[in-house]
């Protein structure tokens, strides 16, 4: 069963919870905007469903509600940002702003981040440069739930990659994808719905394929993008994200990445600080006039969208489903599964906030 609540109502509730955690007003507003962008775009696994997880991490002392986010090393086009243990929902946008400012000055900006936490959906961060005629790139490593090809050990996260490219009259191109066959959040949704997962999403502890949504909880692993014959490609992409986000910044990488759930403790022998992210911003006019580029992007998008499709289908551009969902949910509200609603109600009682 689901209950639909207005976006504005959920926004006010989440913002109040972040304030109750001790976040300054500006940070609470930014964290809420970042978090709720997932619900709006239909990525329900990364929206308010995760709010209780952030609270539990804060209660465990693993999130700093008042971080001093700052640059620790930089060149004209690059920087390392230390998130000071803050909410990734806040650290991420601030780090992307550093990348955008460098792009404004020298054409491109590249920022690797350490000492952060889960930053919501990668697409939100990648889209921030669009309004400035910039291409945005966002990556993050994540809790080790993924077995590399042929491995029984979980060494990587779902490690998403997002790329946002501005267009003119057409909607912007926005790719936001995990480097696994499915994100862990989809398993969480299947668990709440008590439904099996498709074959190819996960393996059990012995390495056999499994459709049990609890298989990762029981010692199994998520599988890299590419399936039985191509998982080495997803493994490679996830590895690149881990290296750019963490090895480059000084964050924890591979099996040392701290788990998102508060009941699991971080590794006793960390190799870095917190989670890592990686952001890029590229000024279009550092390559060619922005108007010309965006006109060609319009042509690219309309050409692909007009391609002949298989019966009953249509050819989509990355970002189309999320944009269409956002338009519907902004007006009609955001559906919440009953377990998520109960979690939010418990948070309301904890902090004295009305849902």
The residue with greater pLDDT, 186 or 315, is: 315
Residue 170 above 80 pLDDT? yes
Q: Which pLDDT value is given to residue 120?
A: 97
Measuring CA to CA, how many Å separate 108 from each of 259, 281, 282?
A: 32, 6, 4
* pLDDT 10s digits, 66-106: 999 999 999 999 999 999 999 999 999 999 999 999 999 99
Asked if residue 185 has pLDDT above 80, the reply is: no
Q: Which of 283, 290, 291 is nearest to 103 (CA)?
A: 283
| Gyration radius of the chain's alpha carbons | 20
pLDDT above 70 covers a percentage of the chain that reads: 100
**Res. 188 pLDDT band, cuts 50 70 90:** confident
Mean pLDDT of 147-166: 97
Phi, psi of 335 (to 5 degrees): -75, 135
User: 227 falls in which pLDDT band (50, 70, 90)?
Assistant: confident
How sure is the predictor about 263, in pLDDT bands with cuts at 50, 70 and 90? Answer: confident
Q: What is the mean pLDDT of the chain?
A: 96
Question: How confident is the model at residue 187, as a pLDDT?
Answer: 84
Does 300 have pLDDT greater than 80? yes
pLDDT level of residue 193 (50, 70, 90 thresholds): confident
Task: Kindly state the average pLDDT of the residues 205-222.
Answer: 93
DSSP, collapsed to helix, strand or coil, labels residue 174 as strand
**pLDDT-derived band of residue 28, with 50, 70 and 90 as boundaries?**
very high
- pLDDT class of 264 with cuts at 50, 70, 90: confident
Q: How high is the pLDDT of residue 251?
A: 98
Contact 103, 48 (CB under 8 A): no
Provide the phi-psi class of 41: left if phi over 0, else alpha when psi is between -120 and 50, else beta: alpha
Q: Is the pLDDT of residue 262 over 90?
A: no
* CA–CA separation, 238 and 181 (whole Å): 11
Question: Which pLDDT score is estimated for 1?
Answer: 85
Q: Residue 122 pLDDT more than 90? A: yes
Give me the pLDDT at residue 183, please: 81
Higher pLDDT, 187 or 294: 294
CA 275 to CA 269: how far, in whole Å? 15
What's the longest Cα–Cα distance across the chain? 55
pLDDT at residue 242 in the model: 98
């Amino acid at each position: 069963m689901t209950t639909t609540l207005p976006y504005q109502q959920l926004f006010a509730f989440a913002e109040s919870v972040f304030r109750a955690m001790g976040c300054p007003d500006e940070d609470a507003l930014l964290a809420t905007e970042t978090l709720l962008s997932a619900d709006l775009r239909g990525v329900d696994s990364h929206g308010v469903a995760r709010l209780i997880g952030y609270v539990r991490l804060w209660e465990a002392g693993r999130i700093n509600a008042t971080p001093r986010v700052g640059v620790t090393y930089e060149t004209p086009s690059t920087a390392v940002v230390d998130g000071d243990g803050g909410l990734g929902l806040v650290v991420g946008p601030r780090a992307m702003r550093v990348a955008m400012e460098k792009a404004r000055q020298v054409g491109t900006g590249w920022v690797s981040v350490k000492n952060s936490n889960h930053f919501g959906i990668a697409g939100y961060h990648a889209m921030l440069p669009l309004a400035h005629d910039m291409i945005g790139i966002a990556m993050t490593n994540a809790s080790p739930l993924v077995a590399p090809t042929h491995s029984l050990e979980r060494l990587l996260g779902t490690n998403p990659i997002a790329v946002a490219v501005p267009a003119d009259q057409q909607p912007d191109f926005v790719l936001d994808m995990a480097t696994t066959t499915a994100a862990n959040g989809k398993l969480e949704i299947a668990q709440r719905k008590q439904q099996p997962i498709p074959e190819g999403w996960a393996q059990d502890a012995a390495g056999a394929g499994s459709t049990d949504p609890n298989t990762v909880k029981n010692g199994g692993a998520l599988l890299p993008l590419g399936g039985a014959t191509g998982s080495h490609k997803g493994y490679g992409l996830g590895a690149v994200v881990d290296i750019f986000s963490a090895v480059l910044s000084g964050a924890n990488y591979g099996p040392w990445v701290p788990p998102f759930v508060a009941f699991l403790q971080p590794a006793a022998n960390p190799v870095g600080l917190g989670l890592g992210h990686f952001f890029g911003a590229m000024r279009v006019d550092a390559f060619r006039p922005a108007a010309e580029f965006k006109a060609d992007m319009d042509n690219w998008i309309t050409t692909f969208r007009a391609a002949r499709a298989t019966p009953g289908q249509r050819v989509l551009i990355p970002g189309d489903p999320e944009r269409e969902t956002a338009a519907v949910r902004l007006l009609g509200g955001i559906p919440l599964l009953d377990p998520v609603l109960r979690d939010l109600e418990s948070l309301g009682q904890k902090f004295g906030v009305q849902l």
